[in-house]
Amino acid sequence: MGKGVHSLLAKKKRGEKIVSLTAYDCPTARLEEEAGLDFILVGDSMAMAVFGDETTLSADIDVMIAHTRAVRRGAPNTLVVGDMPFGTYECSDSQAVMNAVRFLARGGADAVKLEGGNRRMLSRVSAIIDSGIPVMGHLGLLPQSIRKTGGYRVVYSKDREQLFQEALALQEAGIFALILEGVEEKLAGELTRELRIPTVGIGAGRYTDGQILVVTDMLGLSGDFRPRFLKVYAELGSAIRSAVESYSSEVREGAFPGEEHAYHPREEK
């Protein structure tokens, strides 16, 4: 099983930055573990990154658990967090606990992540933690709430009171870390200094305790999706397209397979 959730708190206390990415499959998770990431999030962003949906709302828990299991196989020694998708924890505390248990028992996750910090979410978080399952929080821009907010909206200083109130309440409920998405840099920095638990930012500026990106975005596999907060570290999209074009050309021209790629009769000894 992966590193404990307390490893992130230890890094905050030492002033060391936390490094994370999403992953949705075994090969990617294996490479991320080899690169030394602190934790891997099997995000509901899979609905967009892998299945091409316009939002995360269509993420299915059975599919999420299957991909979490694949990530666990690829990264057996890394902290793996399963992202609980829309509709799997809103109805009741018992529903939330049941589905969180599935992420650990069937998916092999070390912890789960829930979005939001209102009174209902605090109840869900507390119930899951009381059942013995670590919970990571998520505040700021909440992709599962875009129907309510009317789109993907950055959180600015005018929302400071609500953000701080929810973050502190989640901390008291017992979350071990907090994702801050789409938050004004100064505000995210102030909150990070206020909290005992580590913060991990995506589009939250330079002053959080760590950073996370969607792996397909930072590898250049998401087409023209290039938001302000994203840095693309490799243009794998163009590299893959070039490789496929070369393969197609060689097959059509009869250059592949060559003699060296064919099996021949064995010589009798």
Pick the closest to residue 72 from 34, 114, 112, 23 (CA basis).
23
Cis peptide leading into residue 227 (ω within 30°):
no
Percent above pLDDT 90 for the chain: 92
CA 190, CA 208: separation in Å to the nearest integer?
9
The rounded distance, in Å, linking the Cα atoms of 30 and 37 is: 10
Q: What pairs with residue 20 in β-bridges?
A: 39, 212
Report the distance separating Cα 7 and Cα 182, nearest Å. 25
| Nearest CA-CA partner of 112 in 201, 41, 9 | 41
Encoded amino acid at 137, one letter: G
Give me the pLDDT at residue 267, please.
Answer: 64
Instruction: Name residue, tokens 């708190």.
Output: 9
Burial class (CB in 10 A: 0-12, 13-18, 19+), 90: middle
Q: What is the pLDDT of residue 148?
A: 81
Q: Which residues contact 88 (CB under 8 A, 6 or more apart)?
A: 61, 95, 96, 99
* Tens digits of residue pLDDT in 176-218: 999 999 999 999 999 999 999 999 999 999 999 999 999 999 9
* Sign of the torsion formed by the C-alpha atoms of 100, 34, 198 and 56: negative
> Over the chain, what is the mean pLDDT?
95
What's the pLDDT tens digit per position in 73-87?
999 999 999 999 999
Spatial distance between the Cα atoms of 184 and 163, rounded to a whole number of angstroms: 11
Report the predicted TM-score, pTM, of the whole model to 2 decimal places. 0.95
**pLDDT tens digits, 11-48:** 999 999 999 999 999 999 999 999 999 999 999 999 99
User: Hey, which residues are catalytic here?
Assistant: 181
What is the pLDDT averaged over residues 112-126? 97
Give the pair of three-digit tokens for residue 204.
């939250």
Strand partners, 201: 180, 211
Is the four-CA dihedral 81, 198, 16, 3 of positive or negative sign? Answer: negative
Q: Is 256 helix (H, G, I), strand (E, B) or coil?
A: coil
Amino acid at 235: E
Cβ atoms of residues 145 and 116 within 8 Å: yes
